[in-house]
Amino acid sequence: MTRNIVTDNKESSDNHYNNSIKYDSPNKDGIVIINLKQLKRKSPEELQIQAENLNIENSSALLKQELVFAILKKSVEQGNLISGEGVLEILPDGFGFLRSPEVNYLAGPDDIYISPSQIRRFGLRTGDTVEGQIRAPKPGERYFALLKVNKVNFEDTSKAYHRVHFDNLTPLYPEEKLSLELEDNSKDFSTRIIELVAPMGKGQRALIVAPPRTGKTVLLQNIAHAITTNNPEVFLIVLLIDERPEEVTDMQRSVRGEVVSSTFDEPAIRHVQLAEMVIEKAKRLVEHKRDVVILVDAITRLARAYNTVVPSSGKVLTGGVDANALQRPKRFFGAARNIENGGSLTIIGTALIDTGSRMDEVIFEEFKGTGNSEIVLDRKIADKRIYPAIDITKSGTRGSMTKRTKIALIGGGNIGGTLAHLIGFRELGDVVMFDISQGFPQGKTLDISQAGAITGSDAITTGTNDYKDIEGSDAIIVTAGVPRLPGMSRDDLINVNSTVIKTVASNIKQYAPNAFVIVITNPLDAMVYIMLKESGLPSNRVVGMAGVLDSARFNLFLAHEFNVSVENVSSFVLGGHGDSMVPLVRYSTINGIPVLDLVEMGWSTKERINAIIDRTRNGGGEIVSLLKTGSAYYAPATSAIEMLESYLKDKRKILSCAAYLQGEYGVKNMYVGVPVIIGKNGVEKIVEIKLNAEEQNLFNKSVDGVRKLIESVKL
């Protein structure tokens, strides 16, 4: 089974210590601020070298935690400051200590003391990640002490004081999908299979049901790699309970995230303490509206530990399980939930079966009913050396537990129909197609659904004449309006289509105020501006499909000119989606070679390139004149799908789109075609490129045309 080994994880990068370079930089006063967390991440060899440089006596006889303590104490004696971070554990007497995940939250000499007054002042709780300035122990003291709290759970301290307790948060079904499929799954496709048979949502409680030697550890590593790659906003914790030390090392080197563990040579109470620190930390992060994922290996071993630790109730079940022993581990697993208004806790744990232990079977039966997703591994498949050994007939996620992506199409014409077909073919979500013509969207979506039965698409595609059916849509693509006819410019459509867009915008505002909206209706730049103003949506979630299509046409014409694959061509177009658009030749390349260089090499001429620019500007008009009864729809629909997919899958692609400028490129409060990054938050960044005088002049003329168009619209 293939492992996705992460070579650039935080442990690896921090441990490459260069002794010729000072580890901590001086501040403006020349005082070195030593970061305790980074110091703990160093290897024992690196700490030994640093201790020798500081002339610490008998350093070779010290354990790692003792070395860290000695280095810090010596550094303070030299006048340096220390910044520390850790996870708070509040003891029964009210005192608190910051424990370190680097040592699996074990109590140690380098823990940081927090006074009860500080705990009360900042409203701190067990599990809070606290960061601040610390001081060395005074004579007679054993621990470092926190002087100043800078951050709580990576945020300003004021937010911690006003947060809502985890138990008071409103749990919901998982709504947002955790993207697990990697772009390159040629070496391993385990996460692709999970996406298909048991998709995970934020807030899921999932069990990996694993007989011995079925590859559960590698599967967990691959899931962890997929989460950190595709869902960078997620805080990942890998919790290893009662594990072999070599397995811990392998997991630490394979996963980019926090890996904490207790090994099989530690007492059961230690397994319980570690699990409870991890779940408290996760809860505190969720209270700050963070998305947290805990991968547990194994839920079964955690339940065994609780069975040993919990006082006997006098009632023993089959397999030696105490009647009260499973209450606390089930509470651990049951903490997974999606939270209303932000935040989620996802727990994916392994459940061991076929181990020969009756206790393990009882534990599995108890936990089976509490999860809402199962990935079942099969020993027979593994024995055939087939990995991942997932039994797809037994694996799955409860249908009501993962909200399917809902995409609304406003307009059931040629573009709308093509969009619906492509969405189903690419498995982007379910489709609701709205059109004012009675029966028209219903008939078109029925036809598309029947095509899906041939291609194997399970997308639900429905037609409607009622705007209420778009309620709760995750994304909306607007194509409604009158299409171009021969002899018409895009601008000729403004009067009739502006009325249509105003109606659409008011219904989006009412039924889908959280949707990401892509506008295709012409004249594009004016229509998307109307959509923004009438819908009241934030500008990052209202965008126009323009430059993707124009750039695609430019790419195609350049590929034909140079007789190369269109995949080798890279270019983009700025400005309004009309006759004044600005194809940028200077930024256009053929497999990385600038087009202008190829012209100088004799591959083409400036005159032919200029003709291609003119043809690009008239790309839509050329199709209209040939069709005579309509306009383009395959390419516009495919362009919108490119934008939609980047949003839904958080691909963060750089695409040319009509985006709302607020000072970028010297333009304010207007929609103009520019390169942007589209991710899960919509338009996440506007990419400003340098333009020469000629390009800037053409861009300004295009902007002026858009401005005049917008000014002619009555809002």
Q: Which of 224, 190, 192 is nearest to 5 (CA)?
A: 224
Position 525: which residue type?
Answer: D
Using DSSP, state whether 271 is helix, strand or coil: helix
Structure tokens at 274: 């570690």
504 pLDDT higher than 70 = yes
How do residues 306-326 score in pLDDT, each as one tens digit? 999 988 888 887 888 888 888
Q: Give the pLDDT score at 546.
A: 83
Residues 189-216: pLDDT tens digits?
888 888 888 888 899 999 999 999 898 9
113-120 average pLDDT score? 91
- pLDDT at position 14 over 60: no
Angle CA 181–365–272, to nearest 5: 80
pLDDT digit string, tens, across residues 28-78: 455 556 776 677 777 788 888 878 887 787 777 777 767 777 777 777 676
Query: Residue 35 and residue 55: Cα distance in Å, rounded?
Result: 20
State the pLDDT at residue 8.
36
HSE at residue 621, side-chain half, CA atoms within 13 A, is 15
Dihedral sign for Cα 304, 315, 208, 338, please. negative
Backbone angles phi, psi at 414, to 5 degrees: -60, -45
- What span, in angstroms and rounded, lies between the C-alpha atoms of 414 and 385? 49
Nearest to 425 by CA among 230, 635, 638: 638
Average pLDDT of every residue of the chain = 86
* Per-residue pLDDT tens over the stretch 587-640: 899 998 999 999 899 999 999 999 999 899 888 889 988 988 878 889 999 999
3-state secondary structure of 536: coil
pLDDT at 30: 52
Asked whether the predicted pLDDT for residue 79 surpasses 70, the reply is no
Q: Name the band, by pLDDT with cuts 50, 70 and 90, for residue 434.
A: very high
- pLDDT level of residue 370 (50, 70, 90 thresholds): confident
Confidence of residue 3 (pLDDT cuts 50, 70, 90): very low
C-alpha to C-alpha distance for 638 and 642, rounded to whole angstroms: 6
Supply the pLDDT for residue 484. Answer: 62
- Say how many Å lie between the first and final Cα of the chain, rounded: 60
Max distance between CA atoms of the chain, in angstroms, equals 93
Q: How far apart are CA 194 and CA 449, in angstroms?
A: 25
Residue matched to tokens 């659409």 = 504
Tell me if 298 sits within 8 A of 348, measured CB to CB: no
Position 491 confidence tier, pLDDT thresholds 50, 70, 90 = low
The answer to whether 475 and 644 have CB atoms below 8 angstroms apart is yes
Report pLDDT for 375: 92
Of the candidates 302, 398, 306, the one whose C-alpha atom is nearest the C-alpha of residue 351 is: 302
Q: Tokens for 698, please give them.
A: 């053409």
Q: Determine the pLDDT at residue 708.
A: 86
Query: Between residues 667 and 316, which one has the greater pLDDT?
Result: 667
Q: Which amino acid is at 40?
A: K
Task: Write out 344-392 in H/E/C secondary structure.
Answer: EEEEEEEEECCCCCHHHHHHHHHHHCCCCEEEEECHHHHHCCCCCCECC
Please give the structure tokens belonging to residue 241.
Answer: 């309970």
Can you read off the two tokens belonging to residue 609? 């390139």
Task: Answer yes or no: pTM beyond 0.75.
Answer: no
Q: Which residues are CB-contacts of 213 (< 8 A; sequence separation ≥ 6)?
A: 379, 382
pLDDT over threshold 70, residue 403: no
Cα dist from 44 to 17, 248, 252, 253, 656, whole Å: 12, 17, 16, 16, 50
What letter does residue 138 receive in the DSSP assignment? P
Q: Percentage of residues in the chain with pLDDT exceeding 90?
A: 45
pLDDT digits (tens, 9 = 90+) for 236-285: 999 999 999 999 999 988 888 899 999 999 999 999 999 999 999 999 99
One-letter identity of residue 615: R
pLDDT at res. 423: 92
What is the pLDDT at residue 489? 60
Q: Quote the percentage of the chain above a pLDDT of 70.
A: 91
143-158 pLDDT, tens digit per residue, is: 888 888 988 998 888 8
C-beta of residue 618 within 8 angstroms of C-beta of residue 486: no
What is the residue-wise DSSP string for 239-256? EEEEE-HHHHHHHHHH-S
Alpha-carbon dihedral sign for residues 520, 524, 529, 533: negative
